Amino acid sequence: MGRAVGRDLRIRHLKYQQDSGIDYISVNDFSYYDQMLDLVYALGAAYPAILYKVVGKYQKEELLSFLGSLRRECATVFVGASSSKESVRLRLKEAYALRRGFPETLLGGICIPERHRRKGDEEYRIAAKCLQGCRFFVTQAVYNTENAKRFLDDYAALNMPKVPVIFTLTTCGSAKTLEFMRWLGISVVLEYEREIMASPDPLERSVDLCTDLFEFLYKYGLSLGIPVGANVESISSRKVEQDGAAKLLLRIRGIIDSYTPDDGSFNPELSGSLASGIV
């Protein structure tokens, strides 16, 4: 009962924001919601994770404190302002400069294939962030093979060492979830929409499509010399869709294992050790 009420309240308030013309949702750091992470930190146990930091919310001293407390088994992704007009306390370039004092920290960045379709410069954004110390990138959710392929092609053409690109994949089990995905700005090609909604089991069809999409991107990335991984998530509060995301994760793990030589060597870009939902 409580979960259903909480879900309805979130949807209602998000609708209020949308109707008021607010395009971006203000959230706290995702790490604040991970109670298990807080517990294992308190116990001194290892809990590999990737922690996102919206750096514009912090003063210099606050970000330095976070970097100083970050455990070795964790990585962090700095997220900049959504608009150049947004008022921030700390700019992304300033955050990167502060991080240089913590060279042991594994730093990642955000990559948006849909932005590459519009502006055609995502590979240069990645190159610039690599110069600032980023060693991997996580994309927003992808449901458009052509956008992702075009980005990989242009990234491969750059004369620079290639770092891992982790594609985010999310399951869709209902028209309501599909509508929410559109509202979040996820580009879902019409063909995929029709296949999912016309299926007697939309969630299973979504899992199949995401599996095929990842297998293509993974094999295509290997052919270009680009390490590719996956971040699997569910944007729905429905347990059946969350179970679908877990099923997708296992399928992707199988794809990676089937193409990775079992020679005992550590392969960080293909390892599932960074976070429970990332392989």
Q: What are the structural domains, with CATH classification, of the chain?
A: 18-104 (no CATH), 105-279 (3.20.20.220)
d(CA 252, CA 213): 10
**Helix (H, G, I), strand (E, B), or coil: what is residue 79?**
strand
Residue 243 CA, distance from chain mean position:
19
pLDDT at 1 (0 to 100) = 47
Q: How far apart are CA 122 and CA 163, in angstroms?
A: 14
**CA angle, 126 then 118 then 252, to 5°:** 60
51: left (phi over 0), alpha (psi -120 to 50) or beta: beta
Q: Which of 14-18, 54-58, 94-98 has the lowest mean pLDDT?
A: 14-18
Tokens of 119: 């502006």
Cα R_g (the chain), whole angstroms? 19
For residue 228, count CB atoms less than 10 angstroms from its CB and return exposed for 0-12, middle for 13-18, buried for 19 or more: buried
Confidence of residue 264 (pLDDT cuts 50, 70, 90): very low
Q: What is the pLDDT of residue 270?
A: 36
Q: Which of 51, 57, 161, 54 minimizes the C-alpha distance to 105?
A: 51
pLDDT above 90 (res 135): yes
Residue 221: its pLDDT value, please? Answer: 93
Average pLDDT over residues 173-189: 87
Per-residue pLDDT at 49: 77
Question: Which pLDDT score, from 0 to 100, does residue 86 have?
Answer: 73
- Which pLDDT value is given to residue 2? 54
Encoded tokens for 211: 């599996």
Which of 173, 163, 225 lies closest to 197, judged by CA? 173
- Mean pLDDT value across the chain: 80
Pairing of strands 136-141, 228-233: unpaired
The predicted structure's pLDDT at residue 4: 66
CA distance 135 to 129: 9
**What does the pLDDT read at residue 107?**
93
Which stretches does DSSP call E strand in 55-187? 74-79, 106-111, 136-141, 165-170
Q: pLDDT-derived band of residue 29, with 50, 70 and 90 as boundaries?
A: low
Average pLDDT over residues 53-57: 87
What share of the chain has pLDDT > 90, as a percent? 37
CA pair distance 163, 60, nearest whole angstrom: 28
Contact between residue 55 and residue 78 where contact means Cβ atoms under 8 Å apart: yes
Q: Tell me, what's the pLDDT at 273? A: 32
Q: What is the pLDDT of residue 21?
A: 59
Phi-psi region of 225 (alpha: psi -120 to 50; beta: other; left: phi over 0): left
**pLDDT at residue number 22:** 54
pLDDT surpassing 80 at residue 89: yes
Residue 235 is predicted with a pLDDT of: 87
Six token digits for residue 99: 């991080």
Q: CA-CA distance, 204 to 174, in Å (whole number)?
A: 11
Answer yes or no: are the C-beta atoms of 155 and 137 closer than 8 Å. Answer: no
- Average the pLDDT over 99-128 and give the result: 85
H or E element: which one contains 233? strand 228-233
Q: Predicted confidence band at 276 (pLDDT cuts at 50, 70, 90)? A: very low
- Average confidence (pLDDT) over 11-40: 57
- Indicate the DSSP class of residue 203: H
pLDDT band at 47 (very low <50, low <70, confident <90, very high): low
Instruction: Please report the pLDDT score of residue 51 as a whole number.
Output: 83
Phi, psi of 173 (to 5 degrees): -115, 5
